[in-house]
Chain A
Amino acid sequence: MKRKRRNKTIRDYIVRYFVIIVWVVIALLPIYTAFITSLTPFEKLGERMLYPKYFAWENYAEVVAQTPMWEYLKASVIYAVGTSIFTIIISILAAYALSRFRFRFKVAFMMLIVAIQVIPQIVIVTPLYGLSNSTGLYDTYIVVVLAMVASAIANPILLLKGFFDSISSTLEEAAAVDGCTRLGALVKIILPISLPAVTTAFALSFFTGWDAYLYPMILTSSPGKVSMTVGLSRMKDIVTPWNWIMSGTIIAIIPPILIYLIAQKYLIGGLTAGSDK
């Protein structure tokens, strides 16, 4: 009886490992290939390689020297960090209001937040292009950041609201007795406890900002505002050597992967906080 059960566990493990490993291989295949290619000299690109044979780190130096990679990186950092900062501040305030107060349009506002998640960028970009031209915001960093904030904002609000709901309000009541304002209580008491949720919100909005493609492509025109996404896709279109494109791509995917690895213990639970309601 016992042995039968043990066999069953082993069979169970084998099936599960098989499923997981097949996916891991598929998940990492493009990144692994990109990495090998980024280290291959141009003349050797036709060779078949399953593991890195050459270590042409100079590809990285060349792509940075020969293309405006630093400019692209700078613009991407501005978009991603700008998006995260605005998103965090706006969603903390909104989530606090939704969690701690009772007011008239609360349900309507919650529904609005859920609904804006499905408004696609491609639908908004046409009128936004006209609007940014008529308001003089065309070709500025801020218009891209604001547009990305709108795309990023729903999930952090729902997530932070859920987290604030789980914090008892007795601490704030004590603070209020001491003459602390609501905003003061939010900053001094609630935020320090909410670090996991704030970290998740930061990571999520950073990913959205780093992913920006359509908005920087349409809403800006000067070279300094070209992001990594737009810059690399143009490099691909003008037939740049694949080893350079792959070096650039590896540089481009390091920031989100690093942030993911740092924030990941909070992320998995956090992402879906809003959707089980």
Chain B
Amino acid sequence: MNLKRKRKALPYIFLVPAIVIIIMIFAIPLFNLLWYSFAKVDLIGNFNSWAGFNNYKYLVTETFTKTLGRTMIWVVCGIAGIFLVGTILALALNKPIPGRGFFRTVVIIPWVIPHVFAGTMWSWVLNSTNGIVNTLLLDLGLIKEPISFLGAELALATVIFIRIWKGVPFLVMSLLSALQTIPAEVEEAAKLDGALGWKYFWHITLPLLRPVMVMSGTILMAWSFTIFDLVYVITGGGPLNATELLSITIYKKAFINGDMGGASAIAIFTMLFVSVIAFFLMKRNSKEAD
């Protein structure tokens, strides 16, 4: 009897460390975040007084709606770019081609470069006075004046480009392993039916890749919504708020203005927003898989 009970407890014992970490780092902070968002708290989270929905008032200001719109542009354009480039690359790398092993290794490299260093290197590459891209374009006579990639007009487009650079390899890896699972007979059969090229991709490859695409897309979406380091290191949210995304607003509210309640309200909103989108994407996917 005792032995049986011990055996029953065993899986839970194995899970204890994971559960402790999840409670410590996710559950308790998320719980605190929730009540912070309805309270006045000092920098280290000491309770002052309840604030009702006052902290949430910022969410209906024009500054915030603009930030949200900017973040949507960043997410949608970033993911569209990642999918476009990533799918083309994965298809190019899928079939045997001389040097494929080498190229597969190199293609993935941006993925292992930490966001901060990616940001620092690209800031230098795109630097308006000495950056290699501007000097090249000037030398080739394609432009007369250096392009200010990180100026107010282009900064958002530039960080989106760098986001795409960093995100493509993840999708390529996901798609490559999914493409490997498509049986060779499928292609044989399609060839006999004369379905080749674009038609083959559209009617056969794409539907088979769909589950993986939705899964990777959901994860990329959630990450994109809240990426902080990459943009913060390159622009700090500027110039003139041109690249101020949700994550940067949360950071500034909390650690520059010291408004923990306000930051928490935005964080709660972000969390809910991302969860709802993720939930619907995944749900649709599992429904269609049945």
Contact = CB atoms under 8 A, between A and B. Distances in A.
Nearest to B115: A211
B114 A126 contact: no
B117 A249 contact: yes
B121 A33 contact: yes
Given A20-B89, A127-B30, A182-B10, A276 B177 contact: yes
B44 A213 contact: no
B78 to A, nearest CB: 15
Contacts of B173: 267-268, 271-272
Interface in A103-138: 103, 106, 109, 112, 116-131, 133-134
A232 B116 contact: yes
Contacts of B187: none
Interface stretch (B62-70, B141-149, B150-158, B266-274): B266-274
A123 B33 contact: yes
B15 A94 contact: yes
B103 A24 contact: yes
A134 B41 CA distance: 13
A122 B226 contact: yes
Contacts of B108: 260, 264, 267-268
Interface residues of A, number: 91
A236 to B, nearest CB: 6
A85 interface: no
Interface in B233-263: 233, 247, 250-251, 254-255, 260, 263
Nearest to B9: A103
B21 A126 contact: no
Q: At the interface, is chain A mostly helix, strand, loop or mixed? A: helix
B124 interface: yes
Interface string A31-62: 10110010000000110111000000000000
A141 interface: no
B222 A131 contact: no
Interface in B134-180: 135-136, 139, 165, 168-170, 173-174, 176-178
Contacts of A169: none
Most chain B beta-carbon contacts within 10 A, residue among A17, A233, A261: A233
A41 to B, nearest CB: 14
B267 A126 contact: yes
B15 A27 contact: no
A147 B25 contact: yes
Given A233-B116, A268-B173, A153 B18 contact: yes
B228 interface: yes
Given A134-B44, A275-B216, A245 B120 contact: yes
A50 B169 CA distance: 26
Interface in B92-133: 92-93, 95, 97, 103-110, 112-125, 127, 129-130, 132
B117 A118 contact: no
A117 B41 contact: no
Most chain A beta-carbon contacts within 10 A, residue among B44, B127, B169: B44
B256 to A, nearest CB: 12
Interface in A149-177: 149-150, 153, 157
A27 B116 CA distance: 16
Contacts of B215: 275-276
B198 interface: no
A126 B181 CA distance: 42
A106 B10 CA distance: 13
Nearest to A36: B132
Contacts of A121: 226, 228
A103 B139 contact: no
A130 to B, nearest CB: 2
13 contacts: A23-B168, A27-B106, A28-B109, A33-B121, A96-B14, A109-B15, A119-B30, A133-B45, A150-B26, A211-B229, A236-B123, A272-B178, A272-B212
Interface of B: 8, 10-12, 14-15, 17-18, 21-22, 24-26, 28-30, 32-33, 36, 41, 43-46, 85, 88-89, 92-93, 95, 97, 103-110, 112-125, 127, 129-130, 132, 135-136, 139, 165, 168-170, 173-174, 176-178, 181, 211-212, 215-216, 218-219, 222-223, 225-226, 228-229, 233, 247, 250-251, 254-255, 260, 263-264, 267, 270-271, 274-275, 278
Q: Which 8 A-B pairs have the closest CB atoms?
A: A130-B45, A120-B226, A150-B25, A97-B14, A118-B222, A30-B121, A101-B11, A127-B29
